[in-house]
Amino acid sequence: MRQVNRLFYDLKESHIRRKYTMTHTNTPWMIGIDVKRDTISLSIPHVLFGAEEKRDEIFTEAGLRYIRIGMKGSDKHDTVDRRHVARRIIELAKKSGVKHFAISVSSFEKYIGPLDRMLIEFARANYEHVAHKTEPKDGWDFVEKITLIDDSIEWNEAMISAAILHGGILAQGLGLARDLANAPTNCMSPKGFVSRIIKETQSPDIGVEVIYLNERDLKTEKLEGILSVGKGSVNPPRLLILQYLQGPAEQKPILLVGKGIVYDDGGVNLKQDPTDMHMDKSGAAMVAAAIITAARLKIERNIIALIPLAENRASGHSYRQCDIITIGDKTVEIGNTDAEGRLVLADALVYGRRRWDPDYVITVATLTGAAHIALGGTCSALFVHDRPAGIRLAKGLIEIGEETGDRLWRLPLEKRHAAQIKGKHADLKNIGSLGRYGGAITAAAFLQQFVDEKVNWAHIDMAPRMTPIEGDHLAAGATGEPMCLLVALTEEL
């Protein structure tokens, strides 16, 4: 696999060049950024914002080309609207064949927000999963370079340089998260996922230790949830462990747990339509990319990522309805084999509690269609312990999500919900007693049984934001949410 240098930043005056080398063969969506203070070439379009215009357009006036973004009707106080403005610039440029444009620092401050936020949204909108496509004869339509015009009195050279560096690393992480989520299962089995992460962490500068448990190790550790879900596939399961320990020795770690179901046809309870179920590993993708990105940012924190990887397939070897398995110190009755994500996550939670003493535990998963039905694709569902500390944690995560563009909406999780997952023949059942009603809540209630009440725990059901909705101005496939939120919370918590 050849090395490809795609992301570079030329910083004005100081002539510092920072390069981030990615071991991808297909990253043409990465954007080069340079900064200039003087008048720039008139051959490239300049971005303008039309306060009284609704339409986005490219036009020529007095021999100069402009990209005009219509701002009429946009709410400058709405963080979603502001992010979409940045994406619309890229969307229009790609449609019009513009490879290089200029934008002033003062204008994006007014209409979009902080520089690093703008760069992240530019990269998010420029991204498309093209790893398995043949490049067109005329080349891809990606924007290749953006020139920033340094005309702001609020930003100095050091601030701009830092923002470009920070935004670039996050953009790189988003690309990794989306690549992992989008990869088809024949190219990314549980073993393939592990191999990809090993490649991503090869550089000694990253400082992420990679460990994994194979099928024999899982049996030794008695992780029946992961083993049961993976029984039906020819691709054996794994538990991937990523350790980044750069905080004080006495600091308790943050534990990130991401669901890694590389394909899900439902098992014996076969899905009617398993479209996009290669993306049921999106939680794993976000968690893996988040810890690697935190390492690239040199965040001084102890972080552990646990990623249970399995393929949930119907076969003669699959686990069945009415099976009873043991997870930790609890027995679980299988009510539906398509409620597999909570089983592998519960196993990882038990293993994490056994091995470490985390201060914070965050579970991330495309766990339920019920969350998507409840929230309609606009934000991810958030669950916490129903006590003051949990409510404070939820408030903090929601605020971080507003800043990073990973919006969350808290749903209730009360003690009485636990009664709905009691088993008839075992301690617990992996589906709620009310069937499809409150399915996202009972899934969260199931996970809660494997988390200490004293631990700061949050569960993000990212199913509503796995793929974009109309008006997101994003390519088909993974959105990359909530990767940036996970990185930010490691800095904030």
Active site residues: 271, 342
At 203, phi and psi to the nearest 5? -65, 130
DSSP at 250:
T
Token pair, residue 64, equals 């100069």
**Polymer length in residues for the chain:** 493
At 21, phi and psi to the nearest 5? -95, 125
Which amino acid makes up residue 385? H
In 209-280, which ranges are continuous DSSP H helix?
Answer: 215-220, 224-230
Best CA proximity match to 174, nearest among 374, 427, 9, 406: 406
Specify whether the CB–CB gap between 265 and 315 falls below 8 A.
no
- The half-sphere exposure of 450 on its side-chain side, counting CA atoms within 13 A, is 34
Instruction: Please report the DSSP string for 395-430 in residue order.
Output: HHHHHHHHHHT--EEE----HHHHGGGB-SSSSEES
DSSP at 315:
S
CA distance 282 to 261: 8
Listed in sequence order, the residues at least 6 apart from 332 whose beta carbon sits closer than 8 Å to its beta carbon are 225, 324, 325, 326, 343, 346, 423, 426, 427, 428, 429, 430
CA distance 31 to 86: 14
DSSP at 135:
P
CA distance 11 to 14: 6
Neighbours of 468 (CB within 10 A): 18
State how beta strands 4-10 and 17-22 pair. antiparallel
CA distance 249 to 140: 48
Specify whether the CB–CB gap between 33 and 132 falls below 8 A.
no
Helix, strand, coil tally for the chain in percent (to 5): 35, 20, 45
Specify whether the CB–CB gap between 352 and 246 falls below 8 A.
no
Specify whether the CB–CB gap between 251 and 267 falls below 8 A.
no
Q: CA separation (Å) from 211 to 50, 194, 240, 306?
A: 52, 9, 6, 10
Alpha carbon of residue 438 to chain centroid: 25
